[in-house]
Amino acid sequence: MTLWRKGSAAGVALAAAIALTAAPADAAPKKRPALPGDVNGDGRADVIAGAHLLKAGGKADAGAVVVWFGGAKVAAKARIATSSKPVAKENLGRVLATADFDRDGYSDVIASARKKVVVFRGSSTGLKFAKSFAWPITNAPMKAADFDGDGYGDAVVRGNGEIVVFKGGSKGLTKSGTLKNGAAGFGAVLAVGDVTGDKRPDLVAANFRPAYPEPAGPQRVTVIPGSASGLSTARAWSFEPARRDVFDLAAGDLSGDGRADIVLATGEQVLVHRSLGTGVSTPQTLSFSNFPGNLAVGDLLGDGRAELAVHVAADDHDWVEIYKGTAGGVTAEPTRTLQKENYETGFGASLHISDVVGDKKPDLVAGAPGVYAVGRVHVLPKGNYTGLQRRELSTTGAHGLGFSLP
Ligand SMILES: [Ca+2]
Ligand SMILES: [Ca+2]
Ligand SMILES: [Ca+2]
Ligand SMILES: [Ca+2]
């Protein structure tokens, strides 16, 4: 038994020999999964935008998903992916999520449509239609991340009174389970971040999203931790926020302690709850005289603490406020306000933070759908106007570009 004594050279050699024989003979090296949003697999996130009002295959408002490849100069060419058989008024692309579902080195996209969910595969030339699933709801909220840590991106999509979990694999996404908490609107607003701090992404889900004429409803925010066996409500925990009119959620590590903090956008306030691992702090409250519409979180300043970007909408003017992450949450006042846009552009109606430029520093991507159907997407390097790039579709007419980003 001395063979196994700690520090025994013979023991170490035997253990090494066992490890060698235990390795599966046919273990082919797996491809490294693509960075989320890197459709063409070149190491830079691409600009992925929904265009749910685009005419496709002669069908009005069929919708599409548009990709501009990222780089120091974002590609001029818009690569447009439609359903295999476009359907009029299907509005494909109103909601999007991206991850490398089949782990082939190209990030894939899942997109909502009317009573349908459509999956596209990434490739060196753009997105290709892969498959679609009939769906009980339209414009289904969805998110993607590798929740079980097997290297294949997974996805969650709100269904009818439940959240449906799709597991990634060599053949792409397959339905693997459902999450319920008794609320009909469970999953009405979704976010992803490592709230628990174990280096795995967790799912954050609200019970209700306000829609005219209901200003508020039964609210609860639930954190469903990612784990090697996937997402399960068995390990979930939740809290009741101070406000019931939660329009958007975001999760990211604002405080720099390794746990993603949870941010809620409501009618007049943004609530910042620091993650405590299995619960959250009392919220820091940011008040607005206009409507804080939607959120994004990412480390734009590169100091290890994520920043919070808040889209604010007034009657005919929109802007984006950036709040710097601090040990206690975020700064009380915005550290930067992006408001050079003209009136009625809808600037910030969708927000996304990823490294599009390719310098390993996250950039802010902002949709500007406009009110005259001149939709654009703006890429603001590290959240600055310096180096701003704008992309739009060359087609005329209402195309809905700028309302949705992953
Ligand atoms: Ca790319
Ligand atoms: Ca892929
Ligand atoms: Ca996975
Ligand atoms: Ca934190």
Q: How far is the CA of 123 from the centre of ligand 2 (A)?
A: 7
| Ligand number with the minimum distance to the CA of 105 | 2
Å from CA of 231 to ligand 4 middle: 21
* Ligand lying nearest the CA atom of residue 33: 2
pLDDT tens string 282-341: 999 999 999 998 999 999 999 999 999 999 999 889 999 999 999 999 999 999 999 998
């190209």: which residue's tokens?
Answer: 106
Q: Cis ω on the peptide bond leading into residue 213 (within 30° of 0)?
A: yes
Share of the chain above pLDDT 70, in %: 91
SS3 381: helix
Note the ligand closest to the C-alpha atom of 330: 4
How high is the pLDDT of residue 75?
Answer: 98
Ligand nearest to the CA of 74: 1
Q: pLDDT tens, 100-129?
A: 999 999 999 999 999 999 999 999 999 999
Q: Tell me how far the alpha carbon of residue 386 lies from the centroid of ligand 1, in angstroms.
A: 21
Q: Which ligand approaches the C-alpha of residue 168 most closely? A: 3
Nearest ligand by distance to the CA of 260: 4
pLDDT score of 399: 81
Name residue 209's beta-bridge partners: none
- Residues, the chain, total? 406
Residues 165-202: tens digit of each pLDDT: 999 999 999 999 999 999 999 999 999 999 999 999 99
The per-residue pLDDT of the chain, averaged, comes to 92
User: Is residue 260 predicted with pLDDT exceeding 80?
Assistant: yes
Q: What is the pLDDT of residue 316?
A: 86
Distance (Å) from CA 159 to ligand 1 centroid: 31
- In angstroms and rounded to an integer, the radius of gyration of the C-alpha atoms of the chain is 22
> What distances in angstroms separate CA 299 from CA 36, 41, 305, 362, one per listed residue?
16, 22, 6, 6
Distance between CA atoms of 111 and 119, rounded to whole angstroms? 6
Place of tokens 């008040």: 287
Ligand nearest to the CA of 174: 3
Q: Nearest ligand, CA of residue 226?
A: 3
| Residue 350: closest CA among 88, 51, 15, 56 | 51
Question: Taking a C-beta distance cutoff of 8 angstroms, is the pair 109, 97 a contact?
Answer: yes
List the one residue out of 163, 202, 160, 203 whose CA is nearest residue 179: 163
Nearest to 379 by CA among 389, 393, 370: 389
Residue 200 corresponds to which tokens in the numbers above?
Answer: 């795995």
- pLDDT above 90 for 22: no
pLDDT band at 373 (very low <50, low <70, confident <90, very high): low
Give the whole-angstrom CA distance, residue 362 versus residue 355.
4
Report residue 261 as tokens.
Answer: 């903090």
Q: Kindly state the DSSP code that residue 13 receives in the 8-state scheme.
A: H
Q: Which two tokens stand for residue 189?
A: 């607003």
Which residues are registered as beta bridge partners of 194? Answer: none
Whether the pLDDT of residue 2 is over 60: the answer is no
pLDDT in tens, 225-238: 999 999 999 999 99
CA–centroid distance, 253 to ligand 4, in Å, is 4
Q: How many angstroms is it from 171 CA to the middle of ligand 3?
A: 12
- Calculate how far, in angstroms, residue 98's C-alpha sits from the geometric centre of ligand 3: 13
pLDDT reading at 16 higher than 70: no
pLDDT of residue 192: 98
> What is the distance in A from the centroid of ligand 3 to the CA of 167?
6
User: From the CA of 280, how far away is ligand 4's center (Å)?
Assistant: 10
Flag whether pLDDT at 15 surpasses 90: no
User: How confident is the model at residue 17, as a pLDDT?
Assistant: 41
Average pLDDT over residues 24-46: 82
Rounded-to-integer distance, Cα 24 and Cα 18, Å: 12
CA of 331 to the centre of ligand 3 (A): 35
Q: Is 80 exceeded by the pLDDT of residue 23? A: no
Q: Which two tokens stand for residue 178?
A: 């459902």
Q: How confident is the model at residue 28 (pLDDT cuts 50, 70, 90)?
A: low
Q: 192 CA distance to ligand 4 centroid (A)?
A: 14
**180 Cα to the center of ligand 1, angstroms:** 35
Alpha-carbon gap, residue 92 to 65, rounded angstroms: 7
> Closest Cα to residue 110, out of 75, 68, 141, 77?
141
Proximal ligand: closest to the CA of 45? 1
| pLDDT score, position 31 | 81
Residue 206 · residue 181 · CB < 8 Å: no
Tokens (6 digits) for 184: 């009909």
The SS3 of residue 382 is helix
Ligand nearest to the CA of 110: 2
For residue 155, what are its two tokens?
């996805």
Judge whether residue 265 has pLDDT over 90.
yes
Report the separation in Å between the CA atom of 401 and the middle of ligand 1, taken as the mean of its atom positions: 20
Both tokens of residue 342? 């003209």
Which ligand neighbours the alpha carbon of 252 most closely?
4
- CB within 8 Å of 140: residues ≥ 6 apart: 95, 112, 117, 157, 158, 159
Per-residue pLDDT at 30: 66
Q: Which ligand is nearest to the CA of 98?
A: 2
